Structure 1
Amino acid sequence: MAASGAVLAGGCAARMAPPSRSGAWPQTSPASVGLKKEALEQAAHAMGQAGERQGLVVVRDGALVFERYWANDYHRAEPDWRNVSFSSGKSWGATMVGRAINLGHLALDDPASRYVDPSITGLHPATRIHHLLTMSSGGSLVVKPSSHPPRKLNDQTPPGPPDEYVRTEGKSKEPRAPEGYGIDLEPGTMFFYDGAAADHLAEIVTAATGMRSFDFMRNEVLEPLGCRNTGYQPEGVDSNGDIRIGGSMLISCRDMARLGQLYLQGGRWGSTRLLDAAFVDAATSPSPGNPDYGFLWWLNTTGEIPAAPRSMFYAAGALGQYCFVVPERRLVVATMGFGRPPLTPQRAWEILAPALLAS
């Protein structure tokens, strides 16, 4: 497995502004923001041993201070390489909803049925937007198949058709689903992690804004953040132009870090407010059903990740797709890759903590 990439040097001052709408990340040296190059190099070396990593990006005070990339059967060692998000795409989905709220198209307490009839979504009629954001909707039997893993570089098989919604036959396909899940379980009753119900937020955004969720995400979230290497797997955008909330994004580590920086800055990007501060606060605070979950963001409230601060919140996808945000350290860390064996958040922070939390 080959490694590529290096610490980014420069004399930029600490607490820099983030990149502009179309600009690249400001760059500075680790030492200028209180981090040690050698410790970061050691962390990157250890992380590169944890399965098929593609990239590691560290941002502090709005500046890119370190990055490392690896080549393997699935990835190239390039900053622009687009990885498959798996469920880390959920936090982007929450951001799309937050942007629609900021523009006045939606409200957290709105019934989902105001926008799309329950006969179409399969959601309980009492389901509200905040239930879908907190995995407490009670579920739906109208689902899409699982998102697709990345392909090996030498796999030239053309992509398949878009993944469309199908209605399951009377019971949830989710393992360990509670009784009545997707049938008559009252919204708000309990937390149950399942991206199938959250996927319907895309249809709701389409109906509320009059713009296909694919276009809304691109025009109102990705472009304002200056994302240069982000899109969707062909199968991840259905025939109605609705994206999969639960996965299927294609994204570079650098662009993944932009999401964390947006939330670290309370929803502002440069001079533009993309998200209401109240939405950001709610999204990164414990939800009623799970103290370690906000609005499609994972939290560390109970210390489930012992090596990380309890204030940390993060986007997480299967096999090790992460965007970690540590507010009191003014840090954003993105790491992605296919990840066999999977890189757990616990293991990631065992590796990162000595380099990022010692100062």
Structure 2
Amino acid sequence: MKMRVTLCLTLLFWGGLVFSQQNYYFPERHNWEEKPAKEYGFDDTKLNEAIRFAQDNEYSGSRDLRIAILKGFEREPFHEILGPTKKRGGPAGLLLKNGYIVGKWGDTNRVDMTFSVTKSFLSTMAGLAVDQGLIHSTRDLVKDYIWDGTFGGPHNSKISWEHLLQQNSDWSGELWGGKDWADRPPREGSLDDWKFRKLNEPGTVMEYNDVRVNVLAYSLTHVLRKPLPMVLKEEIMDKIDASTTWRWHGYENAWTEIDGIQMKSVTGGGHSGGGIFINAEDMARFGLLFLNQGVWKKDRLISEQWIAKATTPSEPNPNYGYMWWLNTKGNRHWEGLSENLYYAAGFGGNFIVVDKENDLVVVTRWLEPSKIGTLMKMIDEALK
């Protein structure tokens, strides 16, 4: 089917629906234009109530994130801080409509840890590898690319890139001192029960697990043959005019040799420290890139095919794609909101929400995580 293009809008086909996309505004570095929300149909009173809600419902954990991490994951055997941490600021966020800032609260230029929001950046590194032909298909077995034993044995040899991206690989092993079975163990059972459990067939059971996510980061580092922060900077962040303040860290001992050069293998989260440290405005730029289906101004940075795959529900969990959470029907569905909405989410209430149907990006930081659905409904009501 042909795309119909006019000077002011393009018809996009996504998820079986047709969206009328206006030409978005893309900010230059250090210069992001703000517009009154009422110009785009928002009820100012209701939107201000939503912003106050975000400010009044701060994440209840300590602002000293080292303390918050150790408390939050105290059930994990052998858990320790292995990478850098940073004390956080207070609630902050941005609301974008058609690329313009129409709502803002807190210090949006403060650099803070962003925890598992990092996973959506990591997924995008896999997308670049696919778009560049370095990975032929996400259905390929990882052992055919990484042959150093990481994917050896009868179980791990069956794992594909898609299994790692959807967090349903059940990869078994140890990386950088982290044991897969010790990451978010079940509420019941002993160490022996966890260590010697029966492994799930790859692709059948989703399990949120940072050790396995770090295995993906390690594998992508070897495929791309560059440190992932360098790839992210050159291929994405510089091209969307992000600031120079963001950083992507790994654990202190997470070094690997590629082409005779020692490279840091970064983490996909921060629950043992590390991950991406970033400000809210750079997070919003990343969200705006996805809102516009991988195009920034006139430059395509990520293929539409990749974004479609990344936001397709996985079989074991309909609310999870390639390290993006999806608002499809399931345990994490936000009632009353678009099922085509998707988001990155991290410990402590860090979110990048992409709402294609309403041309919105919402970034909120240090919001009590259970309150995100309510906040999104309040924003939706303010627009209606």
Flag whether TM exceeds 0.5 (same fold): yes
Q: CA deviation at 1:113?
A: 1.7
Counterpart check, 1:323 vs 2:333: no
> Over aligned residue pairs, what C-alpha RMSD do you find?
2.8
User: Which residue of the partner structure matches residue 230 of structure 1?
Assistant: 246
User: Which residue of the partner structure matches residue 65 of structure 1?
Assistant: 102
Q: CA deviation at 1:195?
A: 2.5
Q: Answer whether contact 2:229 2:247 (CA < 8 A) is retained.
A: no
Query: How far does the alpha carbon of each residue in 1:313-344 deviate from its partner, in whole angstroms, 9 at most, with x for none?
Result: 1101112111111111111100012x5xx332
Q: Are residues 318 and 98 of structure 1, via their aligned partners in 2, closer, same or farther at CA, if it must alter by over 3 Å?
A: same
Match among 169, 176, 195 for residue 186 of structure 2: 176
Of 217-226 and 130-139, more deviation after overlay is shown by: 217-226
Of 232-241 and 286-295, more deviation after overlay is shown by: 232-241
User: Which residue of the partner structure matches residue 170 of structure 2?
Assistant: 138
- Counting only pairs closer than 5 Å after superposition, residues 1-359 of structure 1 correspond to structure 2 as 15-19=22-26, 22=29, 24-52=31-59, 53-69=90-106, 78-106=107-135, 107-117=137-147, 119-120=149-150, 124-143=156-175, 165-166=176-177, 168=179, 171-176=181-186, 184-228=199-243, 229-233=245-249, 235=251, 238-239=254-255, 240-247=263-270, 248-302=275-329, 304-337=333-366, 342-344=368-370, 347-357=371-381, 358-359=383-384
Q: Answer whether contact 1:133 1:295 (CA < 8 A) is retained.
A: yes
Of 113-122 and 259-268, more deviation after overlay is shown by: 113-122
Of 179-188 and 277-286, more deviation after overlay is shown by: 179-188
Q: CA deviation at 1:16?
A: 4.9
Supply the distance in 2 between the matched residues of 1:354 and 1:35 (Cα, whole angstroms).
11
Q: Answer whether contact 1:293 1:299 (CA < 8 A) is retained.
A: yes
| AA partner of residue 53 (structure 2) | A
Question: How many residues end up aligned between the 2 structures?
Answer: 311
Q: Are residues 198 and 65 of structure 1, via their aligned partners in 2, closer, same or farther at CA, if it must alter by over 3 Å?
A: same
User: Which residue of the partner structure matches residue 17 of structure 2?
Assistant: none
| AA partner of residue 353 (structure 1) | K
Supply the distance in 2 between the matched residues of 1:235 and 1:51 (Cα, whole angstroms).
28
Supply the distance in 2 between the matched residues of 1:245 and 1:343 (Cα, whole angstroms).
19
**Unaligned 5+ runs, structure 2:** 1-20, 60-89, 188-192, 256-262
Q: Answer whether contact 1:282 1:294 (CA < 8 A) is retained.
A: yes
Supply the distance in 1 between the matched residues of 2:101 and 2:211 (Cα, whole angstroms).
34
Q: Secondary structure at the match of 1:27?
A: coil
Supply the distance in 2 between the matched residues of 1:216 and 1:285 (Cα, whole angstroms).
24
**Unaligned 5+ runs, structure 1:** 1-13, 70-77, 144-164
Of 175-184 and 305-314, more deviation after overlay is shown by: 175-184
Superposition TM-score, scaled by structure 1 size: 0.78
Identity %: 23
| AA partner of residue 108 (structure 1) | T
Superposition TM-score, scaled by structure 2 size: 0.73
Query: How far does the alpha carbon of each residue in 1:208-244 deviate from its partner, in whole angstroms, 9 at most, with x for none?
Result: 1221222112222222222214213574893332211
Q: Are residues 222 and 242 of structure 1, via their aligned partners in 2, closer, same or farther at CA, if it must alter by over 3 Å?
A: farther
Q: Answer whether contact 1:57 1:68 (CA < 8 A) is retained.
A: yes
Q: Answer whether contact 2:249 2:267 (CA < 8 A) is retained.
A: no
Of 257-266 and 19-28, more deviation after overlay is shown by: 19-28
Q: Answer whether contact 1:96 1:221 (CA < 8 A) is retained.
A: no
Q: Secondary structure at the match of 2:110?
A: coil
